[in-house]
Amino acid sequence: MNWNPNEKDPWGRKNNNPPDLDEAIEQLRKMFFSGGSGKKSGSGGGTPFKFGFKFFSYLLLGAFTLYIFLGIRIINEADREVVFTLGKYNRVLGPGLQFHFPVVEEIYASENISRIRTFVLPTNMLTKDENIVDVELNVQYTISDLKNYSLNVEDPEITIRQAAESALRHVVGENLMDDLLTSGAAAISSGILLRLDEYLAIYEAGISVQQVNIEQRQPPAEVIDSFRDVVAAREDKERLRNDAEKYALSIVPVARGDAQRQLQDAEAYKQKVIAIAEGEANRFEALLTEYQKAPEVTRERLYLDALEEVFSTSTKVMIDVEGGNNLLYLPIDQIMKKAEEDDE
């Protein structure tokens, strides 16, 4: 059965010749934008074309608006985003209102660069004196460059762990076990931090190490008791030394003060003795002058002064009476004066 008895093509022509491509496109244009007949129909011939053009314009405007809306991004202050254009790195978006081109561009990585990330690395290390020490290292770090952090290393967390272990092994291998387990741990932590920064700078990993702490450090279980005894003895030695220094600091100023006071007392006594001696010498010279002038009078005067000095300090006086017994004289005024002095 012949489905096309008239042997005409869809454009109303016979199938003697193949259809022209330009004519086919023209027919389709007239169907969509001229009402589908290809002929003008009086006054309403332009309406279908106008309707189709407006619809197509609105469709394009809506698609463009949606495209712009999908490309707008609001990024927080602490966040950064890496943008790829057609599979290649383009830029890093900072905080605020940003825009990227959907489909053409993609957000490859988005990270908070202010958040402090932490990990703990437990391991065994060999010290300089060939002792094995159990160490637990705590590392805190932040992202300093999101581009390097996302592109230069495949797994940043594994990279920094391996770098931290390498730095720990290197620094601990340069120190003795006693230094690691006692007062040298802080210096060792600083050395690990510096070496870890050097490694990450070589890798260009975009990581900034904030702090490194050796949280736990202890010798192997086989010798831990002996080592604790050694540490206790060292601590006792340090405590006794501190006590001695404290006592020295407290007693030395007192001793210096006593020595200074004794020097001052000695100087005062010296001046006193010299003054008394000079006074006695001057008095003797004055008496000598008077004695040379009147020897008898001077001797009598010296005798009376001596009696006065002796009797003034005595509470009993014996008087020799001629032709009778000795008389005991008690000076009441001197006895009362001495009693008052004793009470004071």
CATH number assigned to the domain covering 117-220: 3.30.479.30
**One-letter amino acid for residue 90 of the chain:** N
311 and 317 Cβ atoms separated by less than 8 Å: yes
What are 170-182's pLDDT values in tens digits? 998 888 887 887 7
What are 116-135's pLDDT values in tens digits? 999 999 888 888 888 788 88
Element housing 82 (H / E):
strand 79-85
What are 201-245's pLDDT values in tens digits? 999 999 999 999 988 888 777 777 777 787 788 888 989 999 988
Q: Where are the domains of the chain?
A: 50-111, 117-220, 231-310, 313-344
Chain position carrying tokens 């020897």: 295
Chain position carrying tokens 């001629």: 322
* Claim: this prediction has a pTM higher than 0.75: no
pLDDT exceeds 70 at position 137: yes
293 and 299 Cβ atoms separated by less than 8 Å: no
- In this predicted structure, what is the pLDDT of residue 192? 92
Measuring CA to CA, how many Å separate 192 from each of 74, 176, 196, 209? 39, 15, 6, 11
318 and 326 Cβ atoms separated by less than 8 Å: yes
**One-letter amino acid for residue 245 of the chain:** E
119 and 162 Cβ atoms separated by less than 8 Å: no
Chain position carrying tokens 């192997």: 220
Partners of residue 73 on adjacent β-strands: 98
What are 269-301's pLDDT values in tens digits? 999 999 999 988 888 888 888 888 888 888 888
